[in-house]
Amino acid sequence: MATLSLLSPASLKSSSSLHNNGTRLILRTPSTLTLRTSSFSSMSIKALSSPSPSPVLTQDDLKKLAADKAVEYVSSGMVLGLGTGSTAAFVVDKIGELLKSGELKDIVGIPTSKRTFEQASSLGIPLSVLDDHPVLDLAIDGADEVDPDLNLVKGRGGALLREKMVEAASKKFVVVVDETKLVTGLGGSGLAMPVEVVQFCWKYNLIRLQELFKEEGCEAKLRVDSDGKPYVTDNSNYIVDLYFQTPIKDGLAAGKEISAFEGVVEHGLFLDMATAVIIAGKEGVSVKSK
């Protein structure tokens, strides 16, 4: 980097290139750019760094964006199905916030699990049950997988039976997910597709389920809790989780075959149920509907 120095005429009397009252410009090459005159102290000029990039959105940030968009479907006076899971929890939080501020009024919530019941109660959301409200205006919930036809895998949180009952009773069912939940075919994530079974002879059904999907390379496992004991649902049942090497070929046929097994209570294939799916991704929030 060059240095500009301004020297007074008195110091440059021997130079033949000076004008009578001029100042000579001398170019040097030290490490910093410095303006120097006979009456001013040295001053360095430094470039400012460029602005730091925007922070990367976490998965929870994306879930919250989708949840906030979903709550736009809610109006005062509605009976709402309140889902279960990490994404649905953001929805319940937002509804509680809007009720507290007065932006929403006369909401009745139908929770899909004990966990959601406790969360909604703590936020002051009025709650009821399907027995008293057999038809709901809207249900909002998350999903574990969403295929291109808006069919779903749900229930990794363990609440699939109550979720399906509440969401089937709803006039509209809005699903909120982040983009990591999109799959080309159900079971395609390689993660669990749950089946709720009665405790009696659960292993008998585990073997039958695994055999049913042997062409998809299915592995069936009993779900256990943190203590290594069988996980027990809110309905006092067990869950057999199915892990697929390849996606399920025909979701509708698979659902019927699973349900036909004696001792199977419910499965995590939610087929032809979603009205709209709200997807949060790095490029923003999008909505897919049928």
pLDDT of 23 higher than 60:
no
What was the pLDDT predicted at 47?
46
Share of the chain above pLDDT 90, in %: 77
- Higher pLDDT among residues 12 and 98, named by residue: 98
State yes or no: is 163 an active-site residue: yes
Q: Where are the alpha helices (DSSP H) in 102-234?
A: 114-122, 160-168, 202-212
Share of the chain above pLDDT 70, in %: 81
Confidence of residue 252 (pLDDT cuts 50, 70, 90): very high
Nearest to 273 by CA among 285, 255, 286: 255
pLDDT of 52 higher than 70:
no
What was the pLDDT predicted at 14?
42
Can you read off the two tokens belonging to residue 118? 């406790």
Nearest to 150 by CA among 284, 285, 287, 277: 277
Average pLDDT over residues 150-158: 97
What was the pLDDT predicted at 260?
98
Average pLDDT over residues 246-252: 95
- Cβ neighbours, 10 Å, residue 238: 23
pLDDT of 200 higher than 60:
yes
Q: What is the distance in angstroms between the CA of the first residue and the CA of the last residue of the chain?
A: 63
Average pLDDT over residues 169-180: 96
pLDDT of 8 higher than 70:
no
Domain ranges of the chain: 59-284
Confidence of residue 32 (pLDDT cuts 50, 70, 90): very low
Q: Could you tell me if 141 and 278 are in contact, meaning their C-beta atoms sit under 8 angstroms apart?
A: no
Average pLDDT over residues 76-105: 97
What was the pLDDT predicted at 16?
42
What was the pLDDT predicted at 56?
80
pLDDT of 26 higher than 80:
no
The whole model's pTM is what? 0.80
pLDDT of 265 higher than 90:
yes
Confidence of residue 46 (pLDDT cuts 50, 70, 90): very low
Considering 72, 118, 163, 216, which one is annotated as catalytic? 163
Q: Where are the alpha helices (DSSP H) in 27-147?
A: 59-70, 86-101, 114-122
What was the pLDDT predicted at 54?
60
Can you read off the two tokens belonging to residue 260? 């036909």
- CATH number for the segment(s) 59-284: 3.40.50.1360
